[in-house]
């Protein structure tokens, strides 16, 4: 009886040890499989690196000054980076960086477009142009007979003068045009003929065209100051009618003009 009772615990102990050993081996096998599976998803270290994207262009545009009187000029200044094609609306294609002097005749939004491999960038700047306001005519006390007289007309509507080979109105000409417009506003029945003149240098054909441009520039100044275009007629005399015939700068200046006359 004693021997039988002592062999039963040993057999039970042996079976328990075997079960524990089997369970440990199973867990170790499962753990090893998981590690191998995890290692199998490592990225390929030899895969090529993607090429970097090209940079997006930058663009800036400034104007100095931002507000001018009609006839004055503005300096545009622009800077870009990473751009292969740059343009400014109204000016066309330009260098990637630069400056340019412009003389807008009305308030203008200047717009720059910079294009490159990385895309397109735009920028804008607004320049305000102050146009003279037509003056309010004071009560007219001039006798009716003098309203259309040559002497009264020329006292109040004076000729304007130009630089050599130019039809751009100078500052003094702009001021004179505003003063002339004040008289014409007060006398709405007066019609004007503007004659364009040149000095005797250059061909007749060239000076006819230059004289016409000068007359039109003077007409535009009056229109901007409030005079109806229908009241103004333009004619070019080129170099055919000279106010002075001496060959010197003072004489040539007298011949470079737009003359205002009564249009009968």
The reply to whether 182 and 253 lie within a common domain is yes
CATH number for the domain harbouring residue 72? 2.60.40.2470
Token representation of residue 238:
């080129």
| Final residue belonging to a domain, choices 130, 156, 172 | 130
Closest CA to 180 of 129, 226, 235: 226
Q: Output the furthest CA–CA distance in the chain (Å, rounded).
A: 164
Residue reference for tokens 């009241």: 231
- Does the residue 103 lie in any domain? yes
The reply to whether 125 and 148 lie within a common domain is no
- Does the residue 28 lie in any domain? no
pLDDT at position 143 is 46
**What one-character-per-residue DSSP string does 2-64 give?**
HHHHHHHHHHHHHHHHHHHHHHHHHHHHHHHHHHHHHHTT---TTSPPPPPPPPPPEEEEEEE
Residue reference for tokens 């004055």: 72
DSSP classification of residue 137 = P
- Does the residue 81 lie in any domain? yes
| Final residue belonging to a domain, choices 95, 130, 165 | 130
Order the strands of the 92-93 sheet from edge to edge: 67-69, 119-130, 108-116, 85-88, 92-93
The reply to whether 178 and 95 lie within a common domain is no
Taking only the tens place, the pLDDT of each residue in 113-149 is 999 999 999 999 999 999 887 666 665 554 444 455 7
Query: Cα–Cα distance between 131 and 120 in angstroms, integer?
Result: 35
The reply to whether 157 and 91 lie within a common domain is no
Provide the domain limits for residue 89: 58-130
The reply to whether 227 and 199 lie within a common domain is yes
Those residues of the chain that have pLDDT short of 50 are: 1-7, 30, 37-38, 142-146
| Final residue belonging to a domain, choices 103, 130, 157 | 130
The reply to whether 113 and 201 lie within a common domain is no
The reply to whether 213 and 116 lie within a common domain is no
pLDDT at position 2 is 46
CATH number for the domain harbouring residue 215? 3.30.1330.60
The reply to whether 154 and 255 lie within a common domain is yes
The reply to whether 92 and 152 lie within a common domain is no
How many domains does one find in the chain? Answer: 2
- Does the residue 170 lie in any domain? yes
The reply to whether 153 and 126 lie within a common domain is no
pLDDT at position 84 is 94
Taking only the tens place, the pLDDT of each residue in 224-261 is 988 999 999 999 999 888 888 888 988 999 989 999 98
């Amino acid at each position: 009886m004693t021997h039988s009772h002592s062999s039963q615990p040993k057999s039970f102990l042996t079976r328990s040890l075997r079960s524990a050993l089997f369970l440990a081996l199973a867990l170790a096998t499962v753990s090893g499989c998981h590690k191998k599976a995890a290692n199998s998803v490592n990225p390929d270290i030899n895969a090529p690196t993607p090429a970097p994207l090209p940079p997006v262009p930058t663009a800036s545009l400034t104007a100095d000054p931002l507000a001018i009187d009609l006839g004055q000029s503005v300096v545009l200044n622009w800077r870009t980076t990473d751009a292969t094609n740059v343009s400014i609306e109204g000016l066309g294609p330009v260098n990637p960086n630069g400056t340019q002097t412009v003389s807008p005749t009305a308030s203008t939004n200047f717009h720059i477009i910079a294009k490159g491999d990385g895309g397109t960038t735009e920028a804008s700047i607004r320049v305000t142009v102050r146009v003279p306001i037509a003056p309010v005519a004071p009560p007219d006390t001039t006798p009716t007979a003098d309203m259309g007289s040559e002497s009264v007309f020329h006292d109040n509507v004076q000729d304007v003068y130009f630089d050599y080979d130019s039809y751009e109105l100078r500052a003094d000409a702009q001021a004179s045009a505003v003063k002339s417009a004040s008289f014409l506003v007060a006398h709405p029945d007066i019609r004007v003929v503007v004659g364009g003149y040149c000095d005797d240098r250059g061909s007749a054909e060239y000076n006819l065209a230059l004289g016409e441009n000068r007359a039109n520039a003077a007409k535009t100044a009056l229109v901007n100051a409030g005079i109806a275009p229908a009241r103004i007629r333009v004619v070019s005399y080129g170099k055919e009618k000279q106010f002075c015939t001496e060959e010197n700068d003072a004489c040539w200046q007298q011949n470079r003009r737009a003359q205002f006359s009564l249009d009968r």
